[in-house]
Structure formats: C-alpha cells, structure tokens
Amino acid sequence: MANLDKYEAVIGLEIHAQLATQSKLFCGDATSFGAAPNTHVSPITLGHPGTLPKTNATAVAYAIKMGLACNCAIEKNNYFARKNYFYPDLPKGYQISQHTTPICVGGKVPIQLNGKEIEVILNRIHLEEDAGKSIHDLSPTDTFIDLNRAGTPLIEIVTEPCIHSAEEAFLYVSEVRKIVRWLDICDGNMEEGSLRCDANISVRLKGATQLGTRVEVKNLNSIRNIKKAIEYEIERLIDMVENGETIIQQTRSFNADNDTTFSIRDKEDANDYRYFPDPDLAPFHLTDDYINEIKASLPLLPNALKIEWKSKYGLSDYDVDQMGENKQEADFYTLWTTQTTHYKAAINWILGPIREYLNESNSSYAQLIPLLPHLTSLLDLVETNQLSFSVASSKVLKGIIANPQNPLEFATTNNLLQSNSAEEITNWVDQVLIANPEKVAEYKKGKKGLIGLFVGEVKKLSKGQADPKITTQLLEQKLSQ
Ligand code: ADP
Ligand code: MG
C-alpha cells in the first residue's frame, strides 16, 4: 500500500468531447455514429490535394456554450493551426487544432466532494478535429481503418494540475458529462467514444511546490476506468519514488482486463509537431454581440436550477439532488410546477412511477407532456386521499397513458377509488380480523407490530381502496376492545 500520508497525487485531465453537430468540423460529411465504415468520407476528409476546409459555425457556437457554462473567458480572435504528425487514420498528415489561441480560456467546474464544494480549475477549452479509427481486432494480421470519424469536431477541456485523488477526478468527469448533456452539445456516451479522457498523473512529497514528472494515461473510455487507472498510477509512482527509481515522462494505456497500465511511448514535445497557422482557413473573429447572444440562450445549469427549486418550491437538498441529471426530466418538472402546487409530490411521482414507466416502455418525457393535465389530476386525487398512491401509480397511471383520459373517470369506471367510508372499511376490517384469529390473539398479548400486517391484509382485500389512515384507526379501535 502506497504511503498517502507522505505523498500527494497531482492530476490534470484532458477530456475530449465530440460535439453533436450534424456535420464535421471542416466539411459537410455526416458525423453520425455507427454508419458503414468509410461512408462519410468526402475528398476533404480524405485529405485530397486541392480541397479546401471551411469552419463549421455550429461547432464554434457549441464550444462557446461550454466555455460560458464553465465560466471561461472567450477568446475573440481565433485561428486554427496544423499539428503535423503521421497517423494512418488522419490522411492529411496533420491534425487541425487550436494551438496558442484556445477559444475558451481559464474557467472552473464546481464539484461536491464529501459534502463540500471544491472547484476544478480549467486551463482552457479548445476546438480540434478528431482522427479516424484504426481497428486492430478484426484480423490477426491486418489493421483496418475507418475514416468516418476523421474530422469530427471535438472540444478538448483541459484542467490545471489541481486534482488530488481518483475520487475527485471521478466526480469532475461525471460533472463535465452532465454539463455537456445538459447543454445538448455532446451525447456524453463514453462507450461510443463521444467522451474520452486522458489522465496526467504525478506525485510529490506533501508540502512540495514543484510538480513531479508526469505520466499520461490515454483514451480512458469509462468513468470507472479513469478512476481505476488513476488509483493504479498513484500507487505505482509512489512505489517508484520510494524505491529510488526515476520517473520518466511517458504515455501509457489502460488495460481494463486487470486494471493496470502499460507504457506505449515516451512523451514527445510540442515542438516536434511543427505547429503553424493553417493557411487554408481564415482566422475567425467573434463579436461581443455574438457571444452575448449565446450567453442569453444558455439554460440554467443544474446547480443554479437546484438553488432556484429549493427557494421557489421549498424542496430539500435531498429532493433536488435526486433530480438534475437529465435536462428533459428537469424541464418536465419545471413545466409541471406551472400546473400543480404539490411540488414535493410531483418530484416523488417523477422519481418513482414516471421514471419506472419511461424505462419500461422506452419512452421519453416529450411523450408525456401532452398528458400533463391528466397527471396533475391524478396527483390531486392522491393528495386528497381519493386514490391510494399504490393504486394510482400501479394501475391508473398506465391506464391513462395507454388511453388518454381523465383519471377520475378511469378510476371510477374500474372501481379503483379509495374508500373513506367508515362503514365500508369496517366491513373489510372485520373480515380480516375474523380470518386471522391467532394473529389477533398475539396482538392482544402485546405484539403491536402486527398492526402493519392487518393494514396490509385490508389493503389486499379492498384492492387498495381502503384509506390506510382510517383503516389503521379502525383496526386499533377494534383490537383494543
Ligand atoms: P500536453 O498538451 O503536452 O499534453 P499540457 O501542458 O497541455 O500538456 O498539459 C496536459 C495536462 O497535464 C493538463 O491537464 C495539465 O494540468 C496536466 N499536467 C501538466 N503537468 C502535470 C504534472 N506534473 N502532474 C500532473 N498533471 C500535469
Ligand atoms: Mg496531452
């Protein structure tokens, strides 16, 4: 076990997020995932001589959105540079990237670590194009190349070396994924490679101010793997230092089969890439008006929304923390609050039966919006004790979705309304007590916990129609006689 009292881990993360534009960063080829290999490959993607790239304005707008959401400064004067290297899956022989003028500068992403807010400080967010894919596992002897992804727009979100544990890294990447999804600029699917992370890791003695030599673990494709790779590297690096070994700057890869990393190459330096401004692409200038327009279009981010919900609807931290992962869900709730004042009950409905229904039926919140008035009536029926929550959620909800109608009508037709009538409930209570003489005797001897069993039996017998409060009162009365 590495000595974490003596050493401090220092981590900087680079996250590549594939922007959800229709077309590539510098040409009209589609970006959609899963197409037959090498079908989205115009002469521009293939790097044919004489072709000219043209910048995708939507990609630029998405990068600005992310920058504004992360409190970055937006660079108004931008250009693209060529980063020259040979890669079989990038036919031009260079990658077009922003070199010294990232479109977003600085910034921060707050995360909650053990109930305390800390800020992950960003260095920059820049735009660049993705490479294609080399596929090594289809043949034992050959490598296949799919260039569909070549030229897809990416933003690279780079932190300062300010993260100090695998747990912090895990929370940060989760938060970034949440934000890009919330802004609808990237689908955040790590399995499909839409979000990939490189982790830079070094260690130093606690209290030291200079950074140690770092290693970089490339292309981590799940949040779990990011955490595992960092945990492994911290241990490995501390052990090396303890054993008096010298750490060399290396690029490494993660092996998910045994949660270890291995070296792929010693690190190259930036000047090996011979950066120069791409002469085929005009520099682009952003106006204040344009940036402000994008700012005005940004949705409230999850953290801000939670604060608003708490003050406006009197919700607890617990309630709001359950929400805010999914923008469609949050929008649905916000819309619902314009129709009902049972704010807390509406959240319970969303977190319970509504999510369950959407999962089971593979449908979306958009499909439920037209039903909101009926859902509001349903919620009212439960809140006024005309319908039990269990009957409402297990039977009426599905009924009114399958065949949109007023829930009161549905419940009446199907004989599901809850009974508040003491007479009717007494009848059920009596039946239950007669059917369970031994339990009644045990209760009378002091086993008061059995009340729950009796209430449950009455619920069953009445098919959920007996109001549980009245049932309990009547049972207690009868059993104390
Ligand atoms: P490059 O572009 O060569 O990968 P950068 O200087 O842009 O290098 O840094 C990449 C990432 O590595 C950043 O997130 C940065 O915070 C992090 N980083 C740099 N030096 C260290 C270090 N000594 N320890 C941990 N992380 C580091
Ligand atoms: Mg790097």
Segment 461-474 shows an average pLDDT of 86
Determine which residue's CA is closest to atom 11 belonging to ligand 1: 12
**Mean pLDDT, all residues of the chain:** 93
Tell me which fold the domain 422-479 belongs to.
Answer: Arc Repressor Mutant, subunit A (1.10.10)
Residue 4: band (very low, low, confident or very high) from pLDDT cuts 50, 70, 90: confident
Tally the residues of the chain. Answer: 481
| Whole-number pLDDT of residue 421 | 75
Which of 158, 210, 220 best tests ligand 1's pocket when mutated (most atoms within 8 Å of CB)? 158
158 lines ligand 1 (CB under 6 A): yes
pLDDT on residue 466 = 85
159 lines ligand 1 (CB under 6 A): yes
Which DSSP string corresponds to 2-17? --TTTEEEEEEEEEEE
Helices H, strands E: what count in the chain?
18, 17
- pLDDT, tens digit, for every residue of 183-233? 999 999 998 899 999 999 999 999 999 999 999 999 898 999 999 999 999
CA of 270 to the centre of ligand 2 (A): 10
pLDDT at 297: 95
Atom of ligand 1 nearest to the CA of 201: 25
In this model, does residue 418 exceed pLDDT 80?
Answer: no
Give the mean pLDDT of 275-295.
96
How far, in Å, is the centroid of ligand 2 from the Cα of 14?
Answer: 7
Count Cα atoms within 13 angstroms, Cβ side, for 240.
17
* One-letter amino acid for residue 279 of the chain: P
- Reported confidence tier of residue 272, pLDDT bands at 50, 70, 90: confident
Q: Is the pLDDT of residue 268 over 80?
A: no
260 Cα–ligand 1 center, Å: 21
Longest dimension (CA), the chain: 97
Atom of ligand 1 minimally distant from the CA of 212: 23
pLDDT recorded at residue 320: 86
pLDDT single digits (tens) 230-255: 999 999 999 999 999 999 999 999 99
CA angle 369, 373, 377 (to 5 degrees): 135
More confident residue, 388 or 166: 166
CB 214 less than 6 A from any atom of ligand 1 = yes
Q: Residue with structure tokens 């890294």?
A: 169
Tokens 């967010």, located at residue: 125
> How far does the centroid of ligand 2 lie from the alpha carbon of residue 217, in Å?
9
pLDDT over 70 (residue 154): yes
244 φψ region: left (φ > 0), alpha (ψ -120 to 50), beta (else): left
How far apart CA 440 and CA 437 sit, in angstroms, is: 5
If you average pLDDT over residues 90-115, what whole number do you get? 94
Cβ of 202 below 6 Å from ligand 1:
yes
Per-residue confidence band for 289, with pLDDT thresholds at 50, 70 and 90: very high
Name the closest ligand to CA 157. Answer: 1
Where does the pLDDT of residue 419 fall: very low under 50, low under 70, confident under 90, or very high at 90 and above? Answer: confident
Contact 339, 373 (CB under 8 A): yes
Q: Confirm if 20 and 62 have CB atoms less than 8 A apart.
A: yes
Pocket lining: 160 vs ligand 1, CB cutoff 6 Å: yes
Ligand nearest to the backbone CA of 213: 1
CA of 15 to the centre of ligand 2 (A): 10
Q: What is the mean pLDDT of residues 278-294?
A: 96
Closest ligand to residue 121's CA: 1
If one residue of 14, 168, 197 were mutated to test the ligand 1 pocket, choosing by the most ligand atoms within 8 A of its CB, it would be: 14
- What phi and psi, each to the nearest 5 degrees, are found at residue 153? -75, 135
Do 104 and 66 form a contact (C-beta atoms < 8 A)? Answer: yes
Q: What is the mean pLDDT of residues 291-313?
A: 93
Model confidence at 125: pLDDT above 90: yes
The atom number, within ligand 1, closest to the CA of 14 reads: 14
Q: How far apart are CA 51 and CA 48, in angstroms?
A: 6
Whether 249 and 261 have beta carbons less than 8 Å apart is answered as no
Average pLDDT estimate for 42-61 = 96
Question: Which one of the ligands is nearest to 124 CA?
Answer: 1
Are 395 and 463 in contact, with CB atoms under 8 Å apart?
A: no
From atom 22 of ligand 1, which residue's Cα is the shortest distance away?
Answer: 214
Q: What is the DSSP letter of 24?
A: -
Q: How many whole angstroms separate alpha carbon 464 and alpha carbon 459? A: 5
Task: Calculate how far, in angstroms, residue 200's C-alpha sits from the geometric centre of ligand 1.
Answer: 6
What's the token pair of residue 396?
């009426």
- Ligand 1 nearest atom to the CA of residue 213, by list position: 23
Residue 21 in this model has a pLDDT that exceeds 80: yes
69 CA distance to ligand 2 middle (Å): 23
pLDDT for position 2 = 67
Question: How many angstroms separate the CA atoms of 261 and 240, rounded?
Answer: 14
Structure confidence by residue, pLDDT tens digits, 166-179: 999 999 999 999 99
Within 13 Å of residue 472, how many CA atoms lie on the same side as its CB?
Answer: 7
> What sign for the dihedral angle of Cα 401, 403, 404, 405?
negative
pTM of the model: 0.84
Domain borders along the chain are 4-289, 299-413, 422-479
Distance CA 336, CA 48 (A): 54
Nearest residue by C-alpha to atom 5 in ligand 1: 158
Pocket test for ligand 1, best of 10, 200, 266 (most atoms within 8 A of CB): 200
Strand 250-255 and strand 215-220: the pairing is parallel
pLDDT one-digit tens code per residue, 325-344: 889 999 999 999 999 999 99
Percent with pLDDT over 90 in the chain: 77
Give the least confident one: 3-7, 47-51, 102-106, 273-277: 3-7
Helices (H), 3-155: 57-69
Does the beta carbon of 67 lie inside 6 Å of ligand 1? Answer: no
Q: Closest Cα partner for 203 from 4, 392, 426, 464?
A: 4
The predicted structure's pLDDT at residue 77: 96
